[in-house]
Structure 1
Amino acid sequence: MNLRPLVLLPFLALPLGAAQARVVLPRVLGHGMVLQREKPVPIWGSAAPGEAVTVQFRGQQQRTAAAADGQWRVTLPPMPANATGAELRITGTNVIRLKDVLVGEVWLCSGQSNMEYTMRKSSKATVPPQPEPNPQTELERAHNPQLRIFLVNRKELARPDSLHRGWSVAQDSALRVFSAPAYFFAQELQTKLGVPVGVISSAVPGSRIEPWIAEAAFQADSYYQPPVGGDPGKFYEPMIRPLVPFALRGFCWYQGESNCFLAETSSYTHKMQTLISSWRAAWQDAELPFYYVQLAPFKYSESKEPKQPLTPETLPLFWEAQEAVLATVPRTGLIVATDLVTKLDDIHPPYKWQIGRRLASLALHDTYNRREVAAAGPVFQSLRLRGSRAEISFRPLQGRLVSKDGQPLTGFTVAGADGRFVPAEARIKGKRVLVSAPAVARPTAVRFAWHEASQPNLFSSAGLPARPFRTDKPAAALSHAAR
């Protein structure tokens, strides 16, 4: 009698897939999913060692056998977009039939609470009346079978799901708890591209950037000596790694508040570089675009019991650290959100439909080569000093410089040789902005939106805000941005 548990122990120690000698799929492979068009599409899972596995989809068939560790993988050749649902069949000892699988565009959206911010919250946010169709009533209208969503649960993604039901049409209860920025990003892409779009949301409120980076990526970089804190890999392991190698077009990222509270600057720039390069390496695709959100205005300096001293310039310095990534990492893009705030004491500004649509505009312009889509507002290019006046030139943009509300430009300050910045008068002259102040006879530097509460009115005529800047960056910051 006492021997029976001892006999069972070796059997119980085997992986579930091997013990049952059945094909098992990762949770991200499920009914209703979207497969990435025009790229090789990996299909993978586990089975008994040596078990033969066949994958069939839309007239193509791939065969393999599970390796000694039970893992198997096949790769379907690139396919054109297809909005008609089809069955993807995986056959081993058992047969798995995934229904209603589409082919189109797939993106992964990640970050902290502002990316996690749900459609339900978005529908209840207090904002001024919106033009029709009101994005706040999108939950009532949403019913587009060409738009599919997958919400990552950090406690479940690494576990197989025998029901294969992780993907949903973007509607009803599934959409209520889904990321609003991710949904509006995907909706805009689907509308403009006219192909199925699948979007994955994997976000954790309050998370710093470090847990989203594999610990090995930190260990491989001498920059992080001594080792970085912040639980490296804590969310990467359960919420990103199990998605690899699901074929994607690219990434969207909305994170930084938790690191800004620590008054980070260049260290955050480096961490973003590490995150982007490590994610691209995980997918074995250095071309994957990475688009992200510059944080919105917020009174960080009024935080109670901060871990680091915070001032009204803490956020602008963080903006600068976010922007520095653009100069050092190819195929990246940033959107500005200085206008998307209702209350400066709310770390979760409500205009998530604008966040999603601006990210989509970046993707449409840069990834899908839709050059008619305006992707960025005014971005500082150069400073020219002319006696009592400073002239600011901006990179070429679609449209022209405008004051959004028709009032005198706001957010500009100017300093002379003493380095003391004072409020400045600024006006648009063609493609430039002329800046001056009566108290500064000979300006030497200009700053724009260089305050945590700044919500300036300089925009492009396409409706996009100007990016904050300062012309007096320290030499170290200038050389870092030039790399």
Structure 2
Amino acid sequence: MKLLLKIIPLLFVVSSIHISQAQISASKVFTDHMVLQRKADIPVWGNAKAGTKITVELNQQKQSAYANADGQWQIDLPALPAGGPYILNIYENESTSPTVSFKDVLIGDVWLASGQSNMEWQVQQAMNADEEIKNADYPQIRFLKVEHAKEMEPQAEIKNGKWKAIDPASVKDFSAVAYYFSRKIYTDINVPLGIIQSTWGGTPVEAWTSREQLLSSSVIRDRVTANDTITTDHIEKDSLDLIKFWELVYNPHNGTEKSIPKRNYNDSDWPTVAMPITIKNWDVPPYEGMVWLRKNIDLPKSMTEKDLTINLGHPELNYSLYFNGTEICKNVWNAEPKHSYTIPEKAVRKGKNTIAVRIAYLWGGGGFNPPAEEMYITDNKSNISLNGEWKYKKDLEPTIPTIMNYHRYSSYLYNGMINPVIPYAIKGFIWYQGEDNVKEATDYDKLFPLLINDWRIRWQQGYLPFIYVQLANYMNRKQEPSESDWAVLREAQTKTLTQPNTGMACIIDIGEAETIHPLNKQEVGRRLALLAENMVYGKQVQAYGPMFKNYSLEEGKVIIEFTETADGLSISKNSDKLKGFAIAGKDRQWHWAEAEIKENQVIVYSPQVSEPKAVRYNWADNPEGNLINSSGLPTVPFRTDNWPTVNQK
């Protein structure tokens, strides 16, 4: 489907809301404090009684139109330069007093930020949250956070959302990646920045793509039509179940919090489990619900009459910690790598002390994750380990309902969270998603371009810049070269650069093995901003790390050439040897390779492969490659072969 194809945006597919006499309204995406796109026509739309004359005024510019038979209207205001604040007035018929007014309106650049949890991850959840929140004083950066909405049909309105200026009170709930992206752009370009944040964690790319576009692809057509038996009753029930689900997760039931944490509670019939443990080795999964854990420890007199510190290492999120019956913390989605808390002196006893944890077992996870040495209690002089046997008990609280997760269904988020903001004039898109498609990674190089083309067609602003994040390194590092779904999906993301006016931020060096949500969102936002400045704003900045160009074979070695080397290739800090390269011969057996930098080339070889045929770099879930350019940006993972990979026949 070509971009030049003219289509009618699905702005008003749902039935019109009845508009009474002498009443007009604008779309909910228009509120006080909004940012409107500079140097482009500015669409403003809404509802009114059929035939009503609507006049929109902004900065002494006025345009008029009539509401159609369905009570819908749209007016395109002429382009304006960056500036403001202005008042946007909407008049009914020939009235000289506005029926609707929006104040503190800025003209600048507007970006749509979308994707799953790593784009949704809030400033208050990410690295250096306290300091970042305290220093967030950017009144000319504004966010509109679109409320979650899963819908079977395209909607005309977002459920809720208001434009807010960035300050310490507002910034904590916004996307960390989008905030750090907008902050750098604003600082460097000095124009007002608006972010429309439309995000939902744990969602595949097809959930954000229109049904019409998905049906055009044989890769996913059958999956789309398989959902046609779903009704609104299914979705309403699931929404109610979801409310109940989180109420049960966040709040103890059956009085468990009053009895189980106490020292004298009888847990003699509870089974035991060694903690920490890789969750798949324990007998609780696939159980989903709340589990209580208890452990008794003996404290010497030297550790009493003082505050202590307890470190839980790497527990699953959503838990409450008790010490001798005293609640020490209630953790809700805190992904900080260190879960450390103070135990007040008054809660500490000589001899037997009881630690109790109420923890959510969700989506195949739960309990405490390795390493064991990060679980201990201390007085800063001596430590007592908390690894080893813990008592545990499930089914002490009500069963949590099974959630169908309709927000993951094809097109449901497009319908509820993207269609309603079309055709709001924007500068471009930033996107961070892919984790939820890893299990079907071989389809992503088809599905991702579908979304990009779909959105560009709907907005009808040409080849709008589409800048996205490649998946970070994640999970345990493997000792030998192996196949990887994560590597396949990253390759699909790299292939998507063949789409016009796209850019990809590689973050293969800042992920974390233990969490799918790396905390360094500042660097993710910065790298996205570098791409925007290079692609959109005409700044001569190095936006990419080295990228594979071609290769040649020469006397048992593979010579790799790169682009985007800046002032040269080098090895990242704290390393003196290139890592991450694997080499294979015609037997397709992979071995770690030796690698050396020679100008803008890397020479790859191995004594185990006398006649090499192919090289892979950072082809792993959590690779350790360390090749960078002079700007410190990492090399984009690549392979020289086209051999079948994971899930390919």
Same structural fold, with TM-score higher than 0.5 when normalized by the shorter chain: yes
Of 539, 548, 552, the residue aligned with 1:380 is 548
Cα distance 1:444–1:359, how it changes in 2: closer, same or farther (>3 A)?
same
Which residues in structure 2 correspond to 1:167-178 (within 5 Å)?
167-178=163-174
Instruction: State whether residues 445 and 472 of structure 1, in contact with CA within 8 Å, keep that contact through their aligned partners in structure 2.
Output: yes
Q: Secondary structure in 1 aligned to 2:194?
A: strand
Take 1:422 and 1:276, find their aligned partners in 2: how far apart are those partners? 37
What's 1:313 paired with?
484
- Alignment pair present for 1:399 and 2:567: yes
Is the Cα–Cα contact under 8 Å of residues 46 and 70 in structure 1 kept in the other structure? yes
Structure 1 segment 346-361 matched on structure 2, within 5 A: 346-361=515-530
Specify whether residues 373 and 180 from structure 1 end up closer, same or farther in structure 2 by C-alpha distance, changes over 3 A only.
Answer: same
Render the CA deviation track for 1:147-184: whole Å, top value 9, x for unaligned: 111111024996589xx971111123321110000111
Moved more, 438-447 or 188-197: 438-447
Q: 2:465 maps to which residue?
A: 289
Partner in structure 2 of residue 330 of structure 1: 500
Give the helix-richer structure, 1 or 2.
1
C-alpha deviation, 1:413, in angstroms:
1.1
Residue 416 of structure 2 is aligned to residue 263 of structure 1: no
Secondary structure in 1 aligned to 2:126?
Answer: helix
147, 150, 160: which is aligned to 1:153?
A: 147
Contact 1:300 / 1:314 at 8 angstroms: preserved in 2? no
* Structure-2 separation of matches of 1:263 and 1:154: 25
Instruction: Give the corresponding residue for 2:39.
Output: 38
Tell me whether 1:249 sits opposite 2:427 in the alignment: yes
Structure 2 counterparts to residues 80-479 of structure 1, below 5 A? 80-82=81-83, 84-92=84-92, 95-123=99-127, 137-155=131-149, 159=157, 166-228=162-224, 231-260=409-438, 262-265=439-442, 267-299=443-475, 312-327=483-498, 329-341=499-511, 343-370=512-539, 372-405=540-573, 406-474=575-643
- Which amino acid letter does the alignment assign opposite residue 241 of structure 1? N
Any idea what SS the aligned residue of 1:326 has? helix
Secondary structure of residue in 1 paired with 2:25: coil
| Deviation string, structure 1 residues 250-288 (Cα, Å, up to 9, x no partner) | 11110111110x2321x2111111111111111012310
Q: Structure 1 225/116 Cα, relative in aligned 2: closer, same or farther at 3 Å?
A: closer
Residues 380 and 467 of structure 1 are in contact (CA less than 8 Å); yes or no, is this contact kept in structure 2?
yes
CA RMSD of aligned residues (A): 2.4
Residues 127 and 519 in structure 2, CA contact (< 8 A), matched pair in contact too: no
Q: d(CA) in 2 for partners of 1:175 and 1:425?
A: 46
Q: Please tell me whether the aligned partners of residues 300 and 312 of structure 1 are also in contact (alpha carbons under 8 angstroms).
A: no
Counterparts of 1:42 and 1:227, CA distance in 2: 35
Q: Name the CA distance, whole Å, in 2 between partners of 1:407 and 1:301.
A: 20
Amino acid aligned to 2:569: L
Q: For the Cα contact (< 8 Å) 1:53–1:64, is it kept in 2? A: yes
Amino acid in structure 1 at the alignment position of 2:214: F
Whether the 8 Å CA contact 1:150–1:199 is kept in 2: the answer is: yes
Distance across 1 between alignment mates of 2:133 and 2:645: 48
Letter in 2 for 1:105: D
C-alpha contact (below 8 Å) 1:24/1:160 kept by paired residues:
no
User: How high is the TM-score relative to the length of structure 2?
Assistant: 0.64
Equivalent residue, structure 2, for 1:5:
none
Distance in 2 between the 1:236 and 1:216 partners? 11
User: Which 4+ residue blocks in structure 1 deviate beyond 3 angstroms?
Assistant: 14-17, 155-161, 220-225, 227-230, 474-477
Q: Residue 492 of structure 2 aligns to which amino acid in structure 1?
A: A
Cα offset, 1:458, TM superposition: 0.6
Distance (Å, rounded) in 2 between the aligned partners of 1:220 and 1:467: 31
The aligned amino acid for 1:89 is: N
C-alpha displacement at 1:416, in angstroms? 2.0
Q: What is the rounded CA distance, in whole Å, between the counterparts of 1:301 and 1:434 in structure 2?
A: 24
In the alignment, residue 86 of structure 1 is paired with which amino acid? Y
| C-alpha spacing 1:441/1:159, structure 2 compared with 1 (3 Å) | closer
> Partner letter of residue 410 of structure 2?
P
Residues 67-78 of structure 1 mapped to structure 2, 5 A cutoff: 67-78=68-79
CA change 1:199–1:20 in 2 (3 A) is same
What is the rounded CA distance, in whole Å, between the counterparts of 1:313 and 1:402 in structure 2? 26
Deviation at 1:391, TM superposition (A): 1.1
- Aligned letter for 2:466? F
1:25–1:160 contact (8 Å) kept in structure 2 = no
Amino acid at match of 1:252: I
- Deviation, structure 1 residue 222: 4.6
Report which of the two structures shows the higher radius of gyration computed on alpha carbons.
2
TM-superposition CA deviations, 1:232-253 (whole Å, max 9, x none): 2111111000100100011111
Q: Is the Cα contact below 8 Å between 1:17 and 1:24 reproduced in 2?
A: no
The 3 A distance-change label for structure 1 pair 297 and 420 is same
Shift of 1:462: 0.6
Q: Which amino acid aligns with 1:338?
A: I
Structure 1 alignment gaps of length 5 or more = 1-13, 126-135, 303-310, 478-483
State the distance in 1 between where 2:196 and 2:570 align: 36
CA distance in 2, matches of 1:55, 1:201: 26
CA contact (8 A) 1:189 1:364 kept: yes
1:120-163 Cα offsets, whole Å, 9 max, x none, are 101467xxxxxxxxxx62211111111111111024996589xx
Partners of 1:435 and 1:476 in 2: CA distance: 21
- How big is the shift at 1:460? 1.1
Measure, in 1, the Cα distance between the counterparts of 2:549 and 2:216: 35
User: Residues 300, 36 of structure 1: CA spacing in aligned structure 2 closer, same or farther, 3 A cutoff?
Assistant: farther
- Who is 1:305 aligned against? none
Range moving further from structure 2, 70-79 or 19-28: 19-28
SS state of the match for residue 153, structure 1?
coil
For 2:412, the aligned partner's letter is K
Question: Deviation at 1:398?
Answer: 2.4
